[in-house]
Structure 1
Amino acid sequence: MSNPLFQSYQISLQIMKERATSFYEAFSLLPEDRFRGVAALYAFCRTVDDLVDFQEQTTKDNIYASLEELKQDLEDKNPASKHSWWPAFLDTIERFNIPDEPFLEQIQGQLMDLDFKPFQNTNDFIGYCQLVAGSVGKMMAPLLASEENPQLLQACEDLGVAMQITNILRDIGEDYQGRDRLYLPFDLLEKAKLNPLDLQLFFSDSPSTEFIELWEDLAKLADTYYSSIQSVLPYFRGDSQLPVLCAALSYQKIADVIRDHDYDCFTQRCYTTTEQRKACVIKAQNILKGSL
């Protein structure tokens, strides 16, 4: 591996290590070449996400232009892209024959955040999750399996959706107050007899019973998407099964941490501890032993 390419992979790994601890730790269990590949894909997604999430630092026109430039670099496989992680990204998608589709879906989903409109129903909410996170599962599938399989590809997309729902449940306050976005679908708010203004109260008071019921409805929805991964584990490479299962269990654990903090996802961001993530590795190992 040439030195510039090696440096590009190192930059990608550092981005993932700093910005996605659970993700980094889970997929560090992969063989090194595919772990580096995951990091390169993550760097692409992180860049697209940050362009939109930090939009107050520039204009919308500049963000649209940056996303269009990134899209063009992808379609042209431009070797001279300005991003330091790009050589690693280009090397990864070429070596593992990853199509453009999931990356274009990622950009499409992030554009929904740029001109954010609340979701009127759960179907729209899931559609958004499929674009911004299901796409991540789809782009990673070629690194995790040696053969194409529709069930495996669907399970990878489902795992991405589940993780995104978990992220949304964790970051409700941060998104609502810091970014003026409320991802909770309106049909579930109506079912819980809540309106968006009610959520302002939970920055100073404990979340209400109605909010907790809504939160748990979405947590159960996430669990249905998490559950699809175990049935297709045999389709993954043998050395990919543990990392994938660890990623699923580690993210699922975030919901338990939020429960332990009395559903306060308004004034803090809840994290799993190193010990909890290690316990997820042991649990995943035991599940895999039981499936042999």
Structure 2
Amino acid sequence: MMAHSKPSLKNDYNHCQNIIKHHSKSFYYAFSTLPEKDADAVYAIYAFCRTADDAIDHAKNMETRIVNLERLEKELDNFLSGNVPKAPMWRALSDVMARYDIDPSMLYTQLDGQRMDIRFKQPEAIDDLINYSNHVAGSVGRLLLPILSNDLTGPRRQNAEKLGVAMQITNILRDIGEDNREHGRIYIPKSVLKKHGYTEEQLASGEINKNFRAMWEDLAGTAEQLYDTAREEITYYKPEARLPLLLSLSIYREILNEVRHNEYDCFSKRNSVSLAKKIKIREAEKIYIKTLEDK
């Protein structure tokens, strides 16, 4: 009789690595350049956040979404009490928590962000959008910070959150059509729509006009200011983490330029950054880091 093999931590991390490779080629391209132990930790954090996101977006109805999130929250409760669920993501995450000073409250913050999507309400103002983005993406920045930096002071935590918000706003601007078409969600704040004279009906029909472009650029400008702030903080990160972090930042920022290049079509096109552009960004960031080191 063939003996059952015991699960190995390496296989658990491979499972998490496959999740990020499948769902986010940009993040994988950036963070796979980290030292192996740090890269594995990023993969495990990503796998948790993806699991939380899928619990909502892959569910067919409200009841299933609620059940899925409650189940995941119960697993998290057990996990943090020392009863690690027998699943690759949880075993890998347990190893990460043992090796890094991860703030466990951010895991709950991520779930709270997903809960906002269950009973979704269109943001009224930009502050509402930033609050939502802080939950679903700022929390990711906070979770990754101890892996990428030895400085966990308040300013660094705030900066990590802001970078997450910039990336979430980028996601929203890229996925305007998909979010409305597949999930019935409009993340653009009502105040921003009103400011630029663009209606929810126009958004639902995929109308791209000067008002839409002005509205889109308004939010893109907010994201780009946050990217600039994060970039200024790069010297506070571990030397080996600076290139991966700049790659993730700059590749994500380039998504905004892809939308512009495609004449603001966020309705029928899936705007993404090509491998050739990623390689070009990588070479530029390597030069930038070298100039920092030479100062």
TM-score w.r.t. the length of structure 1 is 0.94
Contact kept? 2:42, 2:144, Cα under 8 Å: yes
Alpha-carbon distance change, 68 to 149 in structure 1, aligned in 2, over 3 angstroms: closer
In percent, how many aligned pairs have the same letter? 34
> How many aligned residue pairs are there?
287
Contact kept? 2:52, 2:72, Cα under 8 Å: yes
Contact kept? 2:254, 2:273, Cα under 8 Å: yes
Range that drifts further, 166-175 or 151-160 = 151-160
Is 2:244 the partner of 1:239?
A: no
AA aligned to 2:232 is S
Range that drifts further, 214-223 or 91-100 = 91-100
Contact kept? 2:52, 2:69, Cα under 8 Å: no
State the partner residue of 1:99.
Answer: 103
CA positional deviation for 1:72: 1.4
State the partner residue of 2:78.
Answer: 73
Counterpart-to-counterpart distance in 2, 1:68 and 1:233: 33
Counterpart-to-counterpart distance in 1, 2:89 and 2:68: 19
Counterpart-to-counterpart distance in 1, 2:276 and 2:210: 30
Counterpart-to-counterpart distance in 1, 2:46 and 2:82: 17
State the partner residue of 1:43.
Answer: 47
Match of 1:59, SS state, is helix
Is 2:215 the partner of 1:210?
A: no
Counterpart-to-counterpart distance in 1, 2:151 and 2:167: 24
RMSD of Structure 2 on Structure 1 (CA): 1.5
Contact kept? 1:49, 1:110, Cα under 8 Å: yes
State the partner residue of 2:221.
Answer: 220
State the partner residue of 2:292.
Answer: 291
**Structure 1 gap ranges (5+):** none
Counterpart-to-counterpart distance in 2, 1:264 and 1:185: 19
Alpha-carbon distance change, 140 to 61 in structure 1, aligned in 2, over 3 angstroms: closer
Contact kept? 2:162, 2:226, Cα under 8 Å: yes
CA positional deviation for 1:285: 1.1
Contact kept? 1:52, 1:110, Cα under 8 Å: yes
State the partner residue of 1:6.
Answer: 10
1:126-141 correspondence runs (5 A) = 126-141=130-145
TM-score w.r.t. the length of structure 2 is 0.93
Counterpart-to-counterpart distance in 1, 2:26 and 2:274: 10
Counterpart-to-counterpart distance in 2, 1:263 and 1:147: 38
